Structure 1
């Protein structure tokens, strides 16, 4: 059976979307079915359809989730994610006191709902425009796939 993976993200300037695309392209070497969606067009119950879940978000203001993720984030409280393998990535700006805090908020909520964190959250400043950042995205995807067993 082919593993079904979701990459869902919130992106305002395109930075988080670019990270999502890099992760997706790194995962495509595996025999898996990957869907990519924007978080604001989802409800949390949809996560139950997937074997692996990767969420991404930029951080707003002084460490908050952006408004387009709020309903989804609240909806997570109603979903049992036991046995789900998850990972979280985000883009941010180190000029703010809480760099990529959305990653921490999402990781905490997913684990609270029983999910198993596959890899430590990926944090990228703005967009992945260096070889090192692109490689970090690829390594994140590889570690996720290994934990998922694909």
Structure 2
């Protein structure tokens, strides 16, 4: 069974809501899911999963939120070589850097050897009804991607 962890930081609840809809998609696709606030987990746990989804809102002019900083530093001690990952977050177009936290997370994941499986999911403030469905589909698509890779690797096919 494919194992996915979704880790998020949320101040107003927007990114948490995004995480919940992605988690719904992950569950619907039949994967084993762990859903955690970034404040309740250590970065080393990511090594135990096939798929990693990190979510953060963008703070100020393009920064990660304070509650994500310790986790982000802990990430430097983690080897994610070959892990599949995605990033998502709530954004605010009134700032000069739209959704920069999502971009920062993707770059960090790649630095640690992870493969970005899908383009980052950015939502303006809270998700609309249509975006909620897109977030759920994002989770489903991520799991389906992981499953195809896992089956190909198990069958001896080089991906």
Q: Normalising TM by the smaller chain, what interval?
A: over 0.9
Q: Which residue of 2 aligns with 1:4?
A: 3
Match of 1:75 in 2: 74
Q: Name the counterpart of 2:61.
A: 62
Q: Match for residue 144 of structure 2?
A: 146
| Deviation per residue, 1:50-99 (Å, 9 max, x gap) | 11110100010000000100011111111110121100000011000111
1:30-58 Cα offsets, whole Å, 9 max, x none, are 22210100012222111111111101000
- Bigger Rg, structure 1 or 2: 2
Counterpart Cα distance in 2 of 1:99 and 1:22: 21
Q: Which residues of 2 match residues 1-150 of structure 1 at below 5 A?
A: 2-131=1-130, 133-149=131-147
Distance in 1 between the 2:43 and 2:27 partners?
24
Query: Does the residue aligned with 1:28 lie in a helix, a strand or coil?
Result: helix
Q: How many equivalent residue pairs?
A: 148
CA change 1:143–1:30 in 2 (3 A) is closer
After TM superposition, the runs of 4+ consecutive aligned structure 1 residues lying more than 6 A away are: none
- Alignment gaps of 5+ in structure 1: none
Shift in Å, 1:145: 1.4
**TM-score normalised by L of structure 1:** 0.94
Is the 2:80–2:112 Cα contact (8 Å) retained in structure 1?
A: yes
Asked if the contact 1:83–1:116 (Cα under 8 Å) also holds between the matched residues in 2, the reply is yes
For residues 30 and 120 of structure 1, what CA distance do their matches in structure 2 show?
19
SS at match of 2:118: coil
